[in-house]
Amino acid sequence: MEKRLLVPIDGSEQAWTALDHATTEHPGAALTLLYVINPVGGTAGVSAGAQIADVGYGEEWYEAAEQRAESLFERARERIGEREIETETTVGRPARAIAAFAEENPIDAIVMGSHGRDGVSRIVLGSVAETVVRRSPVPVTVVR
């Protein structure tokens, strides 16, 4: 049975390193690339009293996020060559969305990058990789 790997991508160098690791270490695995659209970033710049629907900002922001996902998926295809990949986009907080996707789909493992923060910066900024490790229903490989 072919292993199914989930590789979250966000355009960071760490995500590309994780994709490289997944393709090198698991040459026969089926890959699903996941881009998470984080709604927390979608309201930046909207005044406190404005309704997103009133200004049309929400739709524009979402369309831009979808275009970014497609651009990243295309870069990933170029990076890994002829290998076939599935691509998925979801909306939510990245760590929760990644773990939920793995739980709701036939995924055997997650391979993801980490920024490698430690100390106060990790506490203040949080760690998507750390949260995924804690919440994931499948094994997680974190690549630095």
Rg (CA), the chain: 16
Closest to 26 measured CA to CA, from 106, 69, 85: 85
How many other C-beta atoms can be found within 10 angstroms of the C-beta atom of residue 78? 8
Residue 40's pLDDT band (cuts 50, 70, 90): confident
Rounded Cα–Cα distance for residues 16 and 35 (Å)? 13
pLDDT at 2: 77
Q: What is the pTM of this model?
A: 0.83
| Residue 6 in this model has a pLDDT that exceeds 90 | yes
Q: Note whether 55 and 110 are within 8 A (CB).
A: no
How far is the first Cα of the chain from the last one, in angstroms, to the nearest whole number? 28
Q: Note whether 102 and 6 are within 8 A (CB).
A: yes
**Where are the strands (E) in 11-139, listed by range?**
30-37, 85-91, 109-113
- Per-residue pLDDT tens over the stretch 57-108: 678 889 999 999 999 999 999 999 989 999 999 999 999 999 999 999 999 9
